[in-house]
Structure 1
Amino acid sequence: MTDSAHMAADSTHRTLPLGDLLAFGDALRADDTPESLLAEVVETLRRIVGSPAVYARLRDLDSDTLYAVAFAGVDAPLVERLRATPIGPAIYQPLLRPEYRQSSSYLIPAAVLPPDVPDTEAIIPASALLTPLRGRGDRLIGVIVLAWPDQPDLVTVRMVEAIARQAALAVENVRLAERSARLLAKEQLLAELGRAVGATLDLDTILHQTIDRLAAAFGSGLVALLDNQETLMVVAAAPPLDTLIGRQLPLLSGSLAWVVQSGQPFVVDDCRLHAPDMALFGPDIASCIIAPLRSGGRVIGMLSVVSRQAGVFSDEDVDLLEAIAAQVSGPVVSARLYAESQRLAAQVQRRADQLAVLNSIARIVTATLDLRESLPLATEQIQRGFGYPQVDLFLLEEEANELILVASAGRYAPERVGYRQHINLGLVGRAARSGRIVRAEDVAAEADYLGLSERLDIRSELCVPLISNGKTLGVLNIESPERAGLTEEDAAVLETVADMLAGAVENGRLYQRAQQAAALEERNRLARELHDSVSQQLFSMTLTAQAARSQFERNPARVPALLDRLHETATAALAEMRALIFQLRPPALRDQGLVAAIQQHAQHLAHREGLRIELNVIGDERHARGIEQPLFRIVQEALNNIVKHAAARNVHEFNADQVAIRVIDDGKGFDPAARPSGEGRHLGLLSMRERAAELGGSFNVHSRPGAGAEVEVVVPLRGRHGNLERPE
């Protein structure tokens, strides 16, 4: 040892006795991090040993690589080079030769140091003292490198080793404290996350709470869930992964597929080298962890965290991510089940509401056969019941090939009712021509869209054709100011509505034709009556007048008798004409009511035909209010048929549930099932049957030859809308 070395050793002994070494170790254990602690150690060693440069390396427990972390007397450019050049076992283990050993340290000549280590020429002029940092159980945790120009004495080396031992213990204590802090933070994070996600069934809240914890612990985070089609969809993410929200992740092969299939976590230290499929996270992502979300023995999704640095994630990070995944898997499943139950409940409620609206529409279209009354009411119910902004109903006029707006309800006043549009124009025309539903999510993209001038804000349209027996009767048109404001579900519901309206339109038109046919039949009947009675009497009057004129010249004495006969015939013809006029619209029916009209008609027939007619009324005739005319016609037709046969009794019954009419005669009777033998036979029965059917009632005839006949008509009162009124 040189004189200068002896002097340095003596100075060290004087300034740093053994007691101070122990106190120095205690002080080091209170530092914050291993890096800051070793920075103070290397600075102290450089000062007390007199080394030109000192630095420390810590061992990576996973790879056994030594990383430079603390420096004293080293220039800044060289510090960066040392930080960027880790030393692996293949480099430092061959240097630890027995001939270089000094106590537990090694004095390595500069000539044998590896040439690719930056400190070989820059800071090691003669030799380097490598002093190990050993913790409890003699476990190597790092090394201190001192540039040594001369051969050190053993006392100095052991002093450096003593400081290194104290520093190693302090580093371990700091690491233990850091690990304890990390464990405590982990427990706190998991506890807070458990409370947050366990207190709600809202999936979005659970996802946001999870992402917040991942971002706090790892600086990033992503949650992806498997849907019913086994598609992995990103549902929540924190920067730099937030651009992936809503994106479908590939599951055909690669790391994600392996995690989903195996249910095991996956760690990538360098995505660019070992997992090129992870480029989906972004080109600047270097490392990542993927942990599966498992519930009930199956994978329901995954969590992932990433970093732009390679190899930054440890086993502790993997354990933490798995613990977070285990913490949120159950709440995610519960939230999804709850959301599904809510969706099903809302669907059931929506179906119930739809059925209620459909029931209301059905009641409206079946309450009356008058389309002018039912179609506007039904259109208004569709608009209000389903909440559509605008509803229009068009009917097709085949002769003109035009669609006529017959009802409108919604945002726009129905002033345009009566508006005509050719079947070759617009989306409505397309639906009418094709007989298919037309749904336009954006009318601006439809070349044949024909918008009305006052409806410039319309964005979507749904046209549902009204079809009956394969024939298009009209179009139900729905409009909305929102793009894609009308869905396939709307189309399905409105298709049912359109079927109802088509049935109502068809029935209404059939009723109109039946009314026209009935009017024609009534005119034909009156023509027959005029021909059989009045016309014959008028013809007889003509013959009598001609006879009186001829007898006036030949035999004037016979003229008064002929004039008397002419007067009688004219009187009979007048009575017959009045009877026919009475049948068209009995004044008593309008002025006095149904019972009085029937009574008057019965008395007239009894007087004219010499019949005995008995009328019995049970109940209150106000129960028949609104249907007096067809009931009177049924009785009238029954009595007219009886007049041609024999005396009769007429029984009329009214009660709170129904109107019952029975007309019984004691005539010669007939076989109701027999085929009519003459033209016009049984037409009266057919007319009465049709009138009863129009009232929603029943018509029955009981008769057999030689045993008279009974006609029975029963018309229900309850459940009828708009036609009957209950008495007050």
Structure 2
Amino acid sequence: MALVIQSGAKPHRIHVKSWVPSIIMLMSDNDLRDLLVQQSEGILSLGGARMALVDVEAGFWGIRRQIEALIGPGLTNSVFQQAGANGGASFAQTFTSAENLSGATAFSACLQVYQQAGFGHFEMTTIDWPIGRICIRADQAFEAWMISQHNQHCTAPCCAYTAGVLVGFVNIITGRNDVVCIEHTCQSQGDAFCQFELLPAADARDQTVVALLPDPGIGLRLNLLEMLFERMPMGIAIIDRDYRVQRYNPTWADYTHRYASSLGARLVPGVYYFDHMPGTESTVKPLYDRALSGETVRQNSVRLDSKDIITYWDVVLTPLVEKGEVVGLLTVSVDATERVAAQQNLEQRVEERTRELQMLLDVAATANSSLDLDETLMKTLDLLVELIDASRAGVGLIDEDTGQLRLNILRPERTVHPADAGRMLQAGRMVIDSGEILSIEADISQGLLEPGVLLPLQVRDKRLGILGIIGQKGGAFTPAQLNLFKSIADQLGIAIENAQLFEKAEAAAIAAERNRLARDLHDAVTQTLFSASMIADVLPIIWDKNHDQGMLRLEELRQLTRGALSEMRTLLVELRPAALVDTDLGDLIGHQVNAFIARTRIQVKYERNCAQNPPTIVKEMLYRVAQEALSNIAKHAEAKTVWIKLDSQTGKTELVIQDDGVGFDLDSAKSYGLGLGIMAERAHHVGAQFNIRSQIHDGTRLQVIWQEPNDKEHNDD
């Protein structure tokens, strides 16, 4: 049996057996024997402390084994060291006050009482007071003794309760809270004795220590905290109202070792947080103050900058409340540095990619803004130089006739030495043949002051040339830039091919138009002029022989020349559509009539009353309908006379074309070859009425009426 002293707020008395006096007599120290007295039969009293008789081996060992089964050895030591610290602090407060003891004497007396209570034999081998360092050698300290009694062996010191008691003694006696205890050796590990060292936390360095937690409100939560979060992958710490770190779990300590500035104070229990993490006060203190005011704070990606060490944290701060008063805060932190860095990296990559895509869109838009090849190349290269901050850029294209690569354009313009141009074109030919990018890094030793890259310009399997880009002096192109250049080269290749195809199409269109004009001139004007020339040749002879016949031939010559002139004007309308807008509708149809007469020698009676021209779109429709109708008459009608009437007034225009030809059956399939559908479609497109009437052997009558809609109808539409 052993005597165990436990803390209490006021004196307690415990009933024990009649052998209590014998126990008292076993205590060798006279002063202690005087303190421990039998007040009455079966009742012990020791100042303000209560006492009990327990079986150390059965009691503490049983409790320890049960706790270990629940939370493991590590947390069990934490539970016992805190219990010891609380008990030692309470006993020292009561005992030293009752006996009016202080300093080293008080500590020695407390240690002697602890020894006399049966917790082992203790000897102070070093004492540097006021506390600088105290070394205590213990034999049969009760935790180590329990381990040996049960044939157990520990891999680490196990006297957590005793270390806690010693910390409680010394901090209360000295009025401090930063003295910690280190157990260097332990009999449970096979050492000759248990060696304890008491010293300020700042001198403990990185060794495992037992510290005092004097605030009872915080102390009540400590063991539960450690049991719940000792092995959690998040940093957990308790901060008191003075912003001092009272306790922390291993993850918090790991965070500190990983990120704390070397200029900050070392992490030990009781360290002022902002000394430990200098530079974070402006960010952290407002959050702590909110928690200390009773608010639960949740915030993600909190940025901490401690002497240029930047980290990010997801934090939850919870106030610790005891009897209605906030006594501190619990901080739970998750390291979000890698996540935020990954997110920032992703955002940066997205921003860069967006910028690259926008650059590519700008280049593509510029490259396709014109079908003129020279203009396309100049604008695109100027934009490219500006966007990528290049020194210059150029394009070389393969001559389709000779197959030779030649330098087409360089922006900004500058004179290129023939030797340099030759080397570049030679390298460009290699790039074209291989289809691969050639990147040339700047190399001062070889006279290359700027980085350069040559890219093939090709569309599908068609090789067009090369794109060359020269960077700034001392610069370098990144892989991302090279990929961007390749995309730009692809877009530029498409634009170049389009421009070349347009040039070819334009040349082909010009040639086709020239051929059409040649045919039209041959079929119409040339033949008319030839007929006029023949009449002019024989007209003097006819005039001499028969004056009346000469007058007829002269009139025919006049009609032919007028027809030739009208044919030319009609061709000009086709070549220059603006003439259709500028010319009066009556004159336009009149030119067609004269040309028709000259070609067909069919009599035409043209009646016109064109007081007001209709809108241009209507004018063009009537011009095309008249053109198609006269063409049909010339080809199919076999008419002798054609009547044309044009009446154009403000808001209304009517065109009637009638012939005395063979006519046709409107229901016959042949009518589809006369362009009637096209004429009707043109009329309906501008909102005009299109009417046609024809019978076999009774000619054909075509009527088109356009009337400007009134405002109401227009609005309804």
The TM tier, using the shorter chain, reads 0.3 to 0.5
Normalised by the length of structure 1, the TM-score is 0.41
